Amino acid sequence: MGSSLSSQVTVKVPAKVNLELRVGPLRDDGFHAISTVFHAVDLCDEVTVRSDRDWSCQTTGPFSDKVPNGDDNLAMTAVRLLARRAGIEEPLAVEIAKSIPVAGGMAGGSADAAGALLAADALLQTGFNKRELHSLASELGSDVPFALYGGTAIGSGRGEQLAPVLTKGSFEWVFALHHEGLSTPAVYAECDRLRGDDPVDEPVPGEGLMTALRAGDVDALARRLHNDLQDAACSLLPRLWDTLDAGIDAGALGAIVSGSGPTVAFLCADRSEALDLMVTLTAGKVADVVVSASGPVHGAHVIHDVRRR
Ligand SMILES: C[C@@](CO)(OP(=O)(O)O)[C@H](O)COP(=O)(O)OP(=O)(O)OC[C@H]1O[C@@H](n2ccc(N)nc2=O)[C@H](O)[C@@H]1O
Ligand SMILES: Nc1ncnc2c1ncn2[C@@H]1O[C@H](COP(=O)(O)OP(=O)(O)O)[C@@H](O)[C@H]1O
């Protein structure tokens, strides 16, 4: 992209699955208090930011037709925010090579925002420290800070407050993607509707999940997967129930809707089981696309840095 002489930085940034998502009451600011365990998987976008004559944002890849270009793209919002806070007016061009499903509950837009923040920060040499970048990421969205950090982490508040979690080894996943997306606010609203007037407790982490992760115990992890938004996502898209069942029938150890959905995540015993499951689910046409990925992986990190000043 661009002239070979332009300065540009490329960042690789992962998707996430929520191993646990406990949703508390609706807060006065319109967000829900949550307790979640984010887990970064090696299904990644690459975000390139370069100096240019005008501001622009373009997306390539299989999901690019579903992503807004220009100012409506969250990555564009991110670079504009960073430049403004750094007091820099130089226009930037953003290019996203997109592999993370859109509106799939895997935080693809948040990942692009985090990637764009990091790339623009490296390009412009702002001098912002990690805490300041975290704060900018929180302004962009509840899931954006986690995409900067990656690994496995507890998220609290509205998801933006993070604490790292110790894990052993890696876990093998299969993801069933649906072309139809689900809107995150609509899924939270459906969760509230299904709960009706029932009192909702402040969310707290479930027992056993941290032990399973620390021990690298995939069977125990499969039993601890939990998502309070799952019923709401399935209520809005009932065929997700069939997708969840199909994976378990085909040998997955655990199945869960990823975040606000509609992507369904299956936890497998090992890589070979994951490949077998991928073939079975693809042949059974239970989803529009089936992919495999492992986690945890690193958060946003620079993979190319060409700066000419
Ligand atoms: C559900 C989760 C689980 O990790 O992600 P996805 O699965 O959609 O990727 C997150 O909570 C989504 O985070 P994110 O997509 O960053 O949401 P934001 O842009 O901050 O908020 C969009 C809207 O979602 C709702 N929202 C979001 C976070 C939260 N803790 N409570 C909410 O009620 C609000 O209606 C808010 O206006
Ligand atoms: N860079 C981006 N990538 C994906 N979606 C984006 C992006 N910028 C803005 N959007 C908008 O945000 C919506 C939610 O996107 P996404 O983050 O993929 O969902 P989810 O949080 O469910 O994973 C999309 O429908 C799209 O209109």
CATH code of the domain covering residue 236:
3.30.70.890
User: Would residue 16 show up in a list of annotated catalytic residues for this protein?
Assistant: yes
Does 3 map to a domain?
Answer: no
Does 156 lie in the same domain as 18? Answer: yes
Flag whether pLDDT at 4 surpasses 90: no
**pTM of the full structure:** 0.97
CATH number (domain holding residue 32): 3.30.230.10
Does 254 lie in the same domain as 128? Answer: no
Does 141 lie in the same domain as 27? Answer: yes
For the four alpha carbons of 269, 274, 280 and 284, in that order, the dihedral sign comes to: positive
CA distances for 125 relative to 52, 83, 132, 218, angstroms: 16, 10, 14, 42
Structurally, the chain folds into a number of domains equal to 2
Flag whether pLDDT at 3 surpasses 50: no
Does 269 map to a domain?
Answer: yes
Does 243 map to a domain?
Answer: yes
The 3-state DSSP class for residue 257 equals: strand
Does 281 map to a domain?
Answer: yes
Please work out whether the CB of residue 176 comes within 6 Å of at least one atom of ligand 2. Answer: no
Share of the chain above pLDDT 70, in %: 98
Catalytic residue among 16, 45, 112, 228: 16
Does 2 map to a domain?
Answer: no
What's the whole-number average pLDDT of the chain? 96
Please work out whether the CB of residue 101 comes within 6 Å of at least one atom of ligand 1. Answer: no
Does 112 map to a domain?
Answer: yes
pLDDT, mean of residues 280-301: 96
Does 230 lie in the same domain as 215? Answer: yes
- 283 annotated among ligand-binding-site residues: no
Q: Which ligand is nearest to the CA of 142?
A: 1
* Burial class of residue 30, CB neighbours in 10 A (0-12, 13-18, 19+): exposed
- Find the 74 Cα to ligand 1 centroid distance in Å: 14
What's the rounded Cα separation, in Å, for the pair 10 and 50? 9
- 169-196 pLDDT, tens digit each: 999 999 999 999 999 999 999 999 999 9
Does 126 map to a domain?
Answer: yes
Flag whether pLDDT at 168 surpasses 70: yes
Query: 106-110, 137-141, 268-272, 304-308: lowest mean pLDDT where?
Result: 304-308
Does 93 lie in the same domain as 64? Answer: yes
Does 207 map to a domain?
Answer: yes
Checking DSSP bridges between strand 254-257 and strand 32-51, what pairing results, if any?
unpaired
Q: φ, ψ for residue 91 (rounded to 5)? A: -65, 150
What's the rounded Cα separation, in Å, for the pair 244 and 257? 8
pLDDT band of residue 302 (cuts 50, 70, 90) is very high
* pLDDT value for 2: 43
Nearest atom in ligand 1 to 108's CA:
9
Does 124 lie in the same domain as 175? Answer: no
Find all residues with CB under 8 Å of 65, minimum gap 6, and list them: none
- 120-135 pLDDT, tens digit each: 999 999 999 999 999 9
Does 175 lie in the same domain as 161? Answer: no
Does 181 lie in the same domain as 144? Answer: no
Task: Kindly indicate whether the ipTM for this predicted assembly is greater than 0.95, answering yes or no.
Answer: yes
Does 177 lie in the same domain as 214? Answer: yes
The residue whose C-alpha atom lies closest to atom 6 belonging to ligand 1 is 105
Flag whether pLDDT at 55 surpasses 50: yes
Does 159 lie in the same domain as 36? Answer: yes
Does 279 lie in the same domain as 131? Answer: no
Does 119 lie in the same domain as 74? Answer: yes
- Find the 78 Cα to ligand 2 centroid distance in Å: 13
Pair 277, 268: CB distance under 8 Å: yes
Provide the residue range defining the domain that includes 99: 8-165+301-306
Residue in the block written with tokens 């509840």: 142
* pLDDT value for 309: 63
Nearest atom in ligand 2 to 106's CA:
23
What's the rounded Cα separation, in Å, for the pair 37 and 259? 10
Please work out whether the CB of residue 30 comes within 6 Å of at least one atom of ligand 1. Answer: yes
